[in-house]
């Protein structure tokens, strides 16, 4: 037996595809976000609400990832955004190859921003770069204030945290400060927005930030 030194990342094949996606976004002057949460946190509702409030100030396209069904892409398309659905047929996360395929269905030249909605899952999607500029974590208050401590990798990697369903706070036992404190420990530079799609709380700030970020392509 002899030992051969390898020194190669396990995910190098995905990394290469993600870098190609990233270059493609950059050439087209498009910024990209990778939206990650558990199932039912409200990712698609956030996209709908965001599109309605953008009012054409930003040309936004959407890539929807689900294990099955095209319902989410249809919901987003009804808000007027070009949307492509990826059905992973069992896979628990999107990867660089799936996003490369989906990009064939989007006219990047006409867009400023692409939001990729990952498969609902706080674990697997974090390991797979898609070529995005930034990960955005979504956490609904009904999931509990312990989630950032239990799934720290996502909450560290995410440049933005969207805390959703704030209108339900009177009915549940959730310590918002604990969520924010844990996330500060993991990523002090993270931007946090507190949202309610029912009352509209926080959306003006989030949408203003999004427009500023998407237009800053330096």
Partner 1 sequence: MHEMSLAQSILDIACQEAARHGAGRIGRVNLLVGKFTHVAPSQLAFCFDMIKKGSVAEGAELAVTLVPLAARCPACGREELLDEPGFICPGCGEQMQATQGQELWIDSIEVEDQGPAGEAKA
Binding site for partner 1 (CB under 8 A): 1-14, 91-93, 95, 123-124, 126-128, 151-153, 156, 184-189
Of the pair 93, 165, the CB lying nearest partner 1 is at 93
Which CB, 5 or 68, lies closer to partner 1?
5
Rounded to a whole number of angstroms, the minimum distance from the CB of residue 196 to partner 1 is 29
- CB nearer to partner 1: give 108 or 149: 149
Tokens (6 digits) for 133: 């500029």
Tokens representing residue 123 in the block: 């674990």
H/E segment holding residue 117: strand 113-117
Tell the smallest beta-carbon distance from residue 190 to partner 1 (Å). Answer: 10
Whether 214 and 30 have beta carbons less than 8 Å apart is answered as no
**Closest approach of partner 1 to the CB of residue 15, in Å:** 10
CB 52, min distance to partner 1, A? 34
CB of 142 within 8 A of CB of 174?
A: yes
Q: Is the distance from CB of 33 to CB of 157 less than 8 angstroms? A: no
Closest CB to partner 1 among 13 and 172? 13
Q: State the nearest-atom distance from the C-beta of 96 to partner 1, in Å.
A: 12
Structure tokens at 187: 């990523």
- Cβ nearer to partner 1, comparing 151 with 213: 151
Q: Give every strand in the sheet of 134-140, ordered side by side.
A: 83-87, 60-66, 113-117, 31-36, 134-140, 160-164, 191-194
């Amino acid at each position: 037996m002899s030992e051969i030194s390898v020194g190669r990342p396990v995910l190098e094949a995905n990394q290469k595809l993600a870098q190609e996606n990233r270059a493609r976004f950059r050439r087209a002057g498009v910024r990209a976000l990778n939206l990650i949460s558990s199932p039912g946190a409200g990712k698609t509702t956030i996209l709908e609400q965001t599109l309605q409030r953008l009012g054409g100030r930003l040309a936004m396209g959407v890539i929807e990832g689900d294990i099955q069904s095209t319902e989410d892409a249809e919901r987003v398309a009804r808000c007027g955004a070009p949307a492509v659905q990826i059905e992973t047929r069992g896979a628990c996360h999107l990867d660089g190859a799936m996003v490369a395929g989906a990009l064939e269905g989007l006219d990047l030249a006409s867009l400023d921003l692409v939001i990729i909605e990952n498969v609902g899952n706080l674990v697997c999607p974090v390991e797979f770069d898609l070529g995005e500029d930034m990960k955005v974590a979504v956490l609904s208050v009904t999931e509990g204030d312990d989630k950032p401590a239990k799934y720290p990798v996502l909450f560290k990697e995410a440049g933005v945290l969207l805390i959703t369903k704030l209108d339900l706070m009177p009915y549940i036992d959730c310590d918002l400060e604990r969520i924010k404190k844990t996330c500060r420990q993991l990523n002090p530079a993270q931007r946090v927005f507190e949202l309610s799609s029912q009352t509209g709380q926080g959306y003006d700030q989030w949408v203003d930030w999004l427009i500023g970020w998407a237009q800053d392509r330096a």
